[in-house]
Amino acid sequence: MPTSTEPATSGASPGSPRTPDTRADDRAATVQRIREGTGFLAAAALRHLDEKLSWYRELPAEDRSYVGLVAQAGIKAFVSWFADPSAPPHGVGEMFAAAPPELTRSISLQHTLQLVRIVVDVVETHSDQIAAPGTERELREAVLRYSREVAFSAAEVYARAAEVRGAWDARLEALVVDALVRGDGDDSVRSRVSALGWSGRGKALVVVGEATSGLDDVRTADLRRVARRAAGDALVGIHGDRLVLLLGGEGDLVAAATGLLGRFGPGPVVIGAVVPSVAEASRSAAAALAGLAAAPAWPQAPRPVMADDLLPERVLTGDESARRTLVAQAYEPLREASGAVLETLSAYLGTGRSLEAAARRLYVHPNTVRYRLRKVSEITGWDPLDARESFVLQVALALGQLESRR
């Protein structure tokens, strides 16, 4: 390794005038010294990295070796450029080719810029030893100029990597949403969701509705950001002319879904059931999609509407899950209840929802009918005195009676 005490290779004596030829000879000498000291500089840079940067010490051994290759490639690229400063910076982008693209997942752009700064500091610190006498300042200025080029190159590399990751993530997200729509909920779906950054905290639900016109990649990305702010976790998918949102988190997911209503196009928006985790999101998706198909049968439905509020309409479209839910949640509890509540509900619905007519059919007082109907509401959660909810109960009653005759 040359030192500042060694004679300059240019042959100029210490006090002689520095002519253009002398400066060129000095530069050539400095280039040669840097080439010979590349390994020394790279080793010094890695020592500084290990001493000053905790994130570097925590990297796996393989990634640390790749970082060392990047540092060494950067020094070599600087030598090539310093030898011919009239040419554009040579090899700036290529220095990052020494490491695999996956390295951008291990170290951030901020970490890379810290690496650049440390390499610059190392070269500056040793400039008196490296440079030929009289060229120390020129070398330091060149290093600073080149470090700027390296910083821009690093930003470009990370931008390209982000673009590639964004395109891949978009395809992966589309696969996940398509799997949910098809009803898949296997381990591959869960691993894909995890690869997309899904935290897995809290519950999940699916919201479906008509997609707005012109929902391009930029607007989809904006919708994804808004949805994540509202819920915590979010995936966005376009399935035909439908917009499918998968939301997850520990907060009120129904409220989060309602807050995103304006992001859907005209027409019904249906919120599927809240499920314990993303592993069961296909069940929420199935309910939401079935509700969207059945929603036109209830023109007065609120927007958004819960999929379970469309159970009668879903039964009409052949949704077997809705049929089982209505029988299990309404008919079976009433059939097993005491106090003739099922008989009273049947009489009330069969007489045009008249308390007096039902009382006459049952030979009881109208207040008794009213009391039993309150019990129906307590048992099932649906109020027979409400027009919409009495329709739900009537469908459940019909389904249960058909079921009991099979």
Q: What is the pLDDT of residue 65?
A: 80
pLDDT for 314 beyond 60: yes
| pLDDT tens track for 334-388 | 999 988 999 999 999 999 999 999 999 999 999 999 999 999 999 999 999 999 9
State the CB neighbour count (10 A cutoff) for residue 58: 9
Strand, helix or coil for residue 287? helix
Mean pLDDT of the chain: 79
User: In terms of DSSP H, where are the helices of 252-304?
Assistant: 253-259, 281-294
pLDDT for 259 beyond 60: yes
pLDDT for 239 beyond 50: yes
3-state percent helix, strand, coil for the chain, nearest multiple of 5? 65, 5, 25
State how far the Cα of 85 lies from the Cα of 93, in Å rounded to an integer: 17
Q: Are 295 and 313 in contact (CB under 8 A)?
A: yes
What letter does residue 96 receive in the DSSP assignment? G
% of the chain at pLDDT higher than 70: 76
pLDDT for 276 beyond 80: yes
CA angle 305, 291, 206 (to 5 degrees): 75
**Buried b or exposed e, range 264-282, using 16+ CB within 10 angstroms:** beeebbbbbbbbeebbebb
User: In terms of DSSP H, where are the helices of 16-135?
Assistant: 20-36, 38-52, 54-57, 61-83, 103-106, 109-125, 127-130
Q: Collect all residues with Cβ–Cβ distance below 8 Å to 94 and sequence separation of at least 6.
A: 73, 77
Q: What is the pLDDT of residue 10?
A: 41
Lowest mean pLDDT among 134-138, 163-167, 209-213: 163-167
pLDDT band, residue 253 (cuts 50/70/90): very high
State the CB neighbour count (10 A cutoff) for residue 6: 12
**Which one of 91-105, 116-130, 285-299 scores highest in mean pLDDT?**
285-299
Q: Which has the higher per-residue pLDDT, 187 or 312?
A: 312
pLDDT for 94 beyond 80: no
Measuring CA to CA, how many Å separate 352 from each of 215, 357, 384, 393, 398? 48, 8, 12, 14, 15
pLDDT for 12 beyond 50: no
pLDDT band, residue 264 (cuts 50/70/90): very high
pLDDT for 295 beyond 90: yes
Q: Are 57 and 50 in contact (CB under 8 A)?
A: yes
Q: In what order do the strands lie in the sheet with 269-271?
A: 233-239, 242-249, 203-210, 269-271, 305-306
State the CB neighbour count (10 A cutoff) for residue 320: 10
State how far the Cα of 138 lies from the Cα of 378, in Å rounded to an integer: 87
Q: What is the mean pLDDT of residues 327-331?
A: 95
Q: Collect all residues with Cβ–Cβ distance below 8 Å to 217 and sequence separation of at least 6.
A: 170
Lowest mean pLDDT among 52-61, 292-301, 340-349: 52-61
- Domains and their CATH numbers in the chain: 20-163 (1.10.490), 197-308 (3.30.70.2730), 320-404 (1.10.10.2840)
